Chains A and B, each alone.
Chain A
Amino acid sequence: MPTITSRERNAIVKSLAAGVVPAIGLQHIQVGRVQEVQALLQDLEQAEQGSAAVRFIVGRYGSGKTFFLNLIRTVALQRKFVVAQADITTERRLQGRDGQARGLYTELVRNLATRARPEGGALANLVERWISDVDGQVRAAGGDDAEVKRTLQAALRPLQDLVAGFDFAAVLTRYYEGFLAQNQAMQDAAVRWLRGEYSTKTEARQDLGVRTIIDDEVTYDYLKLWAGFTRIAGYAGLMVNIDELVVLSHRLSNATARNNNYEAILRIVNDCLQGTVSGLVFLFAGTTDCLEDRRRGLFSYEALATRLATSTFATDGRRDLAGPVIRLENLTPEDCHVLLENIRRVFANGNDVAGVLPDAGIAKFLEYCHQRLGAAYFQTPRETVKTFVGLLSTLAQNPGTDWQQLLTPESVPGSVETPPEEQMSATGDSDGLTEFKL
């Protein structure tokens, strides 16, 4: 059994208690989803061989989409992928005219992670390492500055076939010039440019002598360039994880903006399915509604609906994992049990697990969860886990408390999903609205 570092333990306990997915240490608690993970591994393999893939991870709120995304991210990092991950918000999306697309790009690039730097911020490191490697190799072979530069340019030449590839190579060259001249300002400017942080062309020209900037129009082209670059720099490829697609379908309240974003997704889907890009894996996560709502979801965009529709034969538990959409089903009761055992093990921190909560306690807890009304529909791993972590914390902080007493039906909080503001207004005179249904 792998040992758990205290940093991982802390991250896991705190995140789960808050109902969010821990960014590290996932392998200690992950259960089930074998087929899904297998499908993604195939995608990664294909990307390693130079092709591309796109997947949509859909499931209900709290069914473990983000958890799954983070898990795949961990796997990808171990397989030498560079991973960029970001949530969509109304201010950061795939397409926009007021810097929203650039906002998403900036966020993705800022979160760029490698195995050496799994928590993100790896961009400067990535560029610097490659350049110093090339520099070192050329010099070891007796080359001079000019030779290094030629080698770098030769290495980047394949990128110049891509849109904006020339500018990308030019900025990397600037970085190298700064590196040679020990001009930190120039290097910083180049990194800032690559992160999409320049907002005017004038500034970019003054600092770097390039005539363009990464603006809303070209952000996807730059992601493709990064994919190409990671392969040149010796990585397997680039994985882009985009979470909270629901913002596009159910938060963006402008039909035109929504369709423009769907068009951007269509372009990605087309590129990845047709194999016109290489070394790139796109993962989108969203709710079932966000995909299937014919009025405002991805399926409201006809071209996406035809490409993403589920195979007509995949019904009643038969799955089709070859299509781009992966539906996360609820965990089986057995999976749930294993999950809770894993969490208990993290909690016990290598000590006696039964001291935290005996096996009978887990069984009793699950039984309690299933007694709740509508559990078959609404009980999601997030809720279960959050409540469970709450139970364990209570037990740990109040030694001598009898778990059986805590698990009598009245004692476990009714709805753990109630956000704080609702609890607040529930004390006021708006009682009638907390459970409001249109």
Chain B
Amino acid sequence: MTEHSAYELLASPIQQCLWRMGWMELRGIQTDAIQVILRGDSDLLIASSTASGKTEAAFLPILSDLCNRPVDSIGAMYVGPLKALINDQFRRLEELCEQAEIPVHRWHGDVGASARKRLLDSPRGVLLITPESLESTFVNRSAQMQRIFGGLRFVVIDELHALVGQERGRHLRSLLYRLQRRANATVRLIGLSATLGDWADIYAAWLRRQEITRVQVVREQSGSRAIRFKIYGYAEVPDSTPRALVPEDESDAEYRPTDAVLDEMLAAFGGKKCLIFANRRTEVERVADLLNERCGLLGRPKEFLVHHGSLSKEIREHAETAMRAPRPCSILCSSTLELGIDVGSVATVGQLGAPHTVSSLVQRLGRSGRRGDSAEMRVFLGERPLRPESDITERLHLELLQAIALTELMLEKWIEPPDIDAIDLSTLVQQVLSVVKEQGAIKAADIYERLVATGAFPRVAVPTFATLLRCLGDHDLLEQDPTGSLILGLEGEHLVSKFDFYSAFASTAEFRVVYQQRTIGTLPHAAIPRRAECFLLAGRRWEVQEIVERREEISVVPAHGRKATRFLGERGDLHPRIRQTMRRILSEPTVPAYLNSEAATWLQDARKTAAQAGLLDCDWFTPTDIRSYWFTWTGTRAHETLQLMAQSVGLFTEDMVGVALRFGASPAEVVQQLVPYLRREHTALDLASQLLQKRRRKYDGYLSDDLLCLDRATDTIDIAGARKLIVQASVIV
């Protein structure tokens, strides 16, 4: 089919609009998507890199369909994971829709009352919304849902890979199943993603569990883009800059890159537009401060801004705007800017420390070199100098190995599959409360029908569900009226009316940081600095002037001292394939061309260490008779499961950065003790019951111990993976 015919399939107002905007051609994914959407009734996955016109690929045909067959409710809904992304897409869609006279609405936490009223008074056209705001419409406007969504025909889900496999993804999927009940016809689902890898089937199953054949896939025929890529290793030195005014704990000593390394960073990122990702907010703030300080000393403008989830909306928007403006500046950010928010064109992407997943590496790399240019990424890995007593795991330079492994896997075009099989009872709890609130009163069987039998939680069995409801009853979240219907209990009412109920993921209680009545950002409860202490936030140094507990507010003044701010970090699961690749790299002789000399030296040192320790032939390292290291080289789940097994048979064991387990016993003893776990009677459920910390998701606190065990056994325990390790070890030892 020719491109010409795709253009002709579009409704005439849309054709006119493209002509007026001066489009020369439709891109491949756009013509394909137009054909699929306008000539059939299937669902669709569009996979293509950032800024390649995915949004238009979905919306040109959708808007055409709305032009040709208008509805008197919202006809198409776009779900985006971030407010900023929605604002962005809103700007882009407004232009397209204006010509076609289709109203566009946006709805998220920062949208004002008058815009909301406009939508509610006359729900028409396209709605852009976050999963959390969609939840709030179920909770607060259930009576109007039919009016708003009755004629819904399309749901477009942006950044699918960022949602699928997460709590938010399950939350959204559940909401979409519930939304389908309010729509008169089958709603077609269209997922947009930059990275699907080989897992289109899994994403298709997420979209349409019952019939994945309904889902078609449109991919960019990628003319492979050149990638300019480099990994810099550098040794950090103790930080001697004057820091907090309050005396420090010595163990808290901080390290920093040398001035030479900072100059190298400035050479890499200075004077142009860059996005520099760090894995933790602490790191974002710390490096931004160092770089700006260095700029100041060198008499250059301080051009490094920061962007992360703990900063106020104004500060984040200021950074985004500055990036779009012509003056050179760079943003240090956490994963907030990983998704496709428009920050103009990015010359180079930086990465501080090794990322945790290939998909995140691909996503970050994709932020640079829009349309045709080569993508460019520079990874900086800082390590503290080795000491004579340094452990073998330090001598293996694991962070470097991880960075190389991720890079190699990226070059093989592999990414992690999303985990869509989680049972996630915490999110189910939230959805139960939401359904009860939506319906006012509802029978248990009916909730089951909506959320489990035809909903997003198909793995939950009836007895489990009944137990879960009883747990909610015990906490007064639910009660039963004499007809047997479930209604919200008093505690449930309270919970549902709280603002943070709308999100399925946990958000910690935070203090607002305020300077001259302006909110700078927030700090987690558990990690707030003391009075007169200094900390970094929004790329500036602050001193705590007063902490107002009652208002959860910290008032600050600018300061000179520097001390890294603590944010509560989260750690993702590493896929087994990454650790296996790390091991493979150890045994290979070649040094990748993208390493700087320091990093290349580290790699060779690591290989030497591995060879000396015998790790190339065997996964055990035995420095003394009563001390052994078991290198598991596997994913986080199997590794932690093995550790749990060891602990539950009473072995003393210590986790070494996820790669090895250290035992106070010989390999033979360890394996002998663990072999019983190969027998069937040991189940994931038994192991889960040994976990000390079973709660990890937002509503886990309401679950009984049995349910928590089931949840953890299903979602985090990899008993098959651990057994494989034991079998391998028993052969060797």
Q: How far is the CB of B119 from chain A (nearest CB, A)?
A: 15
The one of A90, A287, A428, A436 in contact with B484, judged by C-beta atoms closer than 8 angstroms, is A436
- Cβ A425 vs Cβ B473 within 8 A: no
Closest A residue to B496 by beta carbon equals: A253
Is B493 part of the binding interface, using a Cβ–Cβ cutoff of 8 Å? Answer: yes
- Contact (A296, B445) CB under 8 Å given A253-B437, A430-B462: no
Q: How far is the CB of B470 from chain A (nearest CB, A)?
A: 6
Q: How far is the CB of A38 from chain B (nearest CB, A)?
A: 29
Is B616 part of the binding interface, using a Cβ–Cβ cutoff of 8 Å? Answer: no
- Cβ A422 vs Cβ B445 within 8 A: yes
The one of A90, A250, A428, A436 in contact with B453, judged by C-beta atoms closer than 8 angstroms, is A428
- Cβ B493 vs Cβ A255 within 8 A: yes
B469 cross-chain contacts in A, Cβ below 8 A: 436, 438
Is A433 part of the binding interface, using a Cβ–Cβ cutoff of 8 Å? Answer: yes
- Cβ A436 vs Cβ B492 within 8 A: no
Closest A residue to B492 by beta carbon equals: A253
Identify the stretch in B8-16, B60-68, B474-482 within 8 Å (CB) of chain A at 4 or more residues.
B474-482
- Cβ A289 vs Cβ B482 within 8 A: yes
Is A318 part of the binding interface, using a Cβ–Cβ cutoff of 8 Å? Answer: no
Interface residues of A (CB under 8 A from B): 60-61, 90-91, 246-247, 250-255, 287, 289, 295-296, 417, 419, 421-422, 424-426, 428-434, 436-438
- Cβ A436 vs Cβ B444 within 8 A: yes
Closest B residue to A438 by beta carbon equals: B473
The 6 closest A-B pairs by CB, nearest first: A436-B444, A438-B473, A433-B445, A432-B462, A251-B440, A253-B488
- Cβ A255 vs Cβ B462 within 8 A: no
B453 cross-chain contacts in A, Cβ below 8 A: 425, 428-430
State A428–B453 Cα separation when bound (angstroms): 8
- Cβ B482 vs Cβ A61 within 8 A: yes
Is B138 part of the binding interface, using a Cβ–Cβ cutoff of 8 Å? Answer: no
State A247–B469 Cα separation when bound (angstroms): 22
- Contact (A426, B445) CB under 8 Å given A255-B490, A255-B494, A438-B470: yes
State A421–B486 Cα separation when bound (angstroms): 15
Q: How far is the CB of A19 from chain B (nearest CB, A)?
A: 13
- Contact (A433, B462) CB under 8 Å given A250-B487, A438-B486: yes
Q: How far is the CB of B485 from chain A (nearest CB, A)?
A: 8
The one of B445, B483, B494 in contact with A425, judged by C-beta atoms closer than 8 angstroms, is B445
- Contact (A254, B497) CB under 8 Å given A429-B462, A433-B465, A438-B470: yes
Q: How would residues 410 to 446 of chain B score, 1 for a CB under 8 Å from any chain A CB and 0 otherwise?
A: 0000000000000000000000000011001101111
B626 cross-chain contacts in A, Cβ below 8 A: none
Name the interface residues of B443-474: CB closer than 8 Å to any CB of A. 443-446, 448-449, 452-453, 462-463, 465-466, 469-470, 473
Closest A residue to B440 by beta carbon equals: A251
Q: How far is the CB of A188 from chain B (nearest CB, A)?
A: 24
Closest B residue to A256 by beta carbon equals: B497
- Contact (A431, B462) CB under 8 Å given A254-B497, A419-B443: yes
State A95–B265 Cα separation when bound (angstroms): 64
State A438–B462 Cα separation when bound (angstroms): 14
B462 cross-chain contacts in A, Cβ below 8 A: 429-433
Is B111 part of the binding interface, using a Cβ–Cβ cutoff of 8 Å? Answer: no
B487 cross-chain contacts in A, Cβ below 8 A: 250-251, 253
B473 cross-chain contacts in A, Cβ below 8 A: 438
A437 cross-chain contacts in B, Cβ below 8 A: 480, 484
- Cβ A433 vs Cβ B440 within 8 A: no
- Besides A289-B481, A436-B469, 4 more A-B contacts (Cβ < 8 Å) are A250-B441, A253-B436, A430-B448, A437-B480
A selection of 15 A-B contacts at a CB cut-off of 8 Å is A90-B440, A251-B440, A254-B493, A255-B494, A421-B446, A429-B453, A429-B462, A430-B452, A432-B466, A433-B443, A433-B444, A433-B448, A433-B465, A434-B445, A437-B484
State A296–B469 Cα separation when bound (angstroms): 20
B492 cross-chain contacts in A, Cβ below 8 A: 253
A253 cross-chain contacts in B, Cβ below 8 A: 436-437, 440, 487-488, 492-493, 496
A428 cross-chain contacts in B, Cβ below 8 A: 449, 453
Name the interface residues of B222-254: CB closer than 8 Å to any CB of A. none
- Contact (A430, B481) CB under 8 Å given A90-B143, A250-B487, A255-B490: no
- Contact (A436, B449) CB under 8 Å given A255-B490, A289-B482, A431-B462: no
B497 cross-chain contacts in A, Cβ below 8 A: 254
- Cβ B480 vs Cβ A438 within 8 A: yes
State A296–B476 Cα separation when bound (angstroms): 12
- Cβ A433 vs Cβ B493 within 8 A: no
- Cβ A296 vs Cβ B490 within 8 A: yes
Closest B residue to A90 by beta carbon equals: B440
State A422–B448 Cα separation when bound (angstroms): 11
A91 cross-chain contacts in B, Cβ below 8 A: 143
- Cβ B448 vs Cβ A425 within 8 A: yes
Closest A residue to B474 by beta carbon equals: A438
State A295–B489 Cα separation when bound (angstroms): 9
State A238–B102 Cα separation when bound (angstroms): 50
- Cβ B482 vs Cβ A251 within 8 A: no
Q: How would residues 596 to 622 of chain B score, 1 for a CB under 8 Å from any chain A CB and 0 otherwise?
A: 000000000000000000000000000
The one of A287, A289, A430 in contact with B445, judged by C-beta atoms closer than 8 angstroms, is A430
Closest B residue to A417 by beta carbon equals: B483
Closest A residue to B465 by beta carbon equals: A433
- Cβ B483 vs Cβ A61 within 8 A: yes
Q: How far is the CB of B707 from chain A (nearest CB, A)?
A: 15
- Cβ A421 vs Cβ B443 within 8 A: yes
State A424–B450 Cα separation when bound (angstroms): 13
A432 cross-chain contacts in B, Cβ below 8 A: 462-463, 466
B444 cross-chain contacts in A, Cβ below 8 A: 433, 436
B437 cross-chain contacts in A, Cβ below 8 A: 253
Q: How would residues 478 to 514 of chain B score, 1 for a CB under 8 Å from any chain A CB and 0 otherwise?
A: 1111111011101011101100000000000000000
Closest B residue to A287 by beta carbon equals: B482
- Contact (A295, B481) CB under 8 Å given A422-B445, A425-B453, A430-B445: no
- Cβ A295 vs Cβ B448 within 8 A: no
State A318–B546 Cα separation when bound (angstroms): 67
State A90–B144 Cα separation when bound (angstroms): 12
A247 cross-chain contacts in B, Cβ below 8 A: 440
Q: How far is the CB of B117 from chain A (nearest CB, A)?
A: 11
B478 cross-chain contacts in A, Cβ below 8 A: 438
Q: How far is the CB of B464 from chain A (nearest CB, A)?
A: 10
- Cβ A436 vs Cβ B493 within 8 A: no
B465 cross-chain contacts in A, Cβ below 8 A: 433
State A429–B449 Cα separation when bound (angstroms): 9
B449 cross-chain contacts in A, Cβ below 8 A: 421, 424-425, 428, 430
State A430–B444 Cα separation when bound (angstroms): 9
The one of B463, B479, B490 in contact with A438, judged by C-beta atoms closer than 8 angstroms, is B479
B436 cross-chain contacts in A, Cβ below 8 A: 253
State A432–B484 Cα separation when bound (angstroms): 14
State A313–B126 Cα separation when bound (angstroms): 64
B483 cross-chain contacts in A, Cβ below 8 A: 61, 417
Interface centre among A289, A425, A436 (most CB of B within 10 A): A436
- Cβ A436 vs Cβ B143 within 8 A: no
State A287–B480 Cα separation when bound (angstroms): 14
State A246–B445 Cα separation when bound (angstroms): 22
State A227–B473 Cα separation when bound (angstroms): 45
- Cβ A436 vs Cβ B482 within 8 A: no
Closest B residue to A435 by beta carbon equals: B484
Closest A residue to B470 by beta carbon equals: A438
The one of B443, B482, B494 in contact with A60, judged by C-beta atoms closer than 8 angstroms, is B482
State A251–B441 Cα separation when bound (angstroms): 6
Closest A residue to B441 by beta carbon equals: A251
Q: How would residues 87 to 106 of chain B score, 1 for a CB under 8 Å from any chain A CB and 0 otherwise?
A: 00000000000000000000
Q: How far is the CB of B307 from chain A (nearest CB, A)?
A: 37
A250 cross-chain contacts in B, Cβ below 8 A: 441, 481, 487
Q: How far is the CB of A382 from chain B (nearest CB, A)?
A: 12
State A287–B487 Cα separation when bound (angstroms): 15
A434 cross-chain contacts in B, Cβ below 8 A: 443, 445
B463 cross-chain contacts in A, Cβ below 8 A: 432
Q: How far is the CB of A292 from chain B (nearest CB, A)?
A: 12
Q: How far is the CB of B148 from chain A (nearest CB, A)?
A: 15
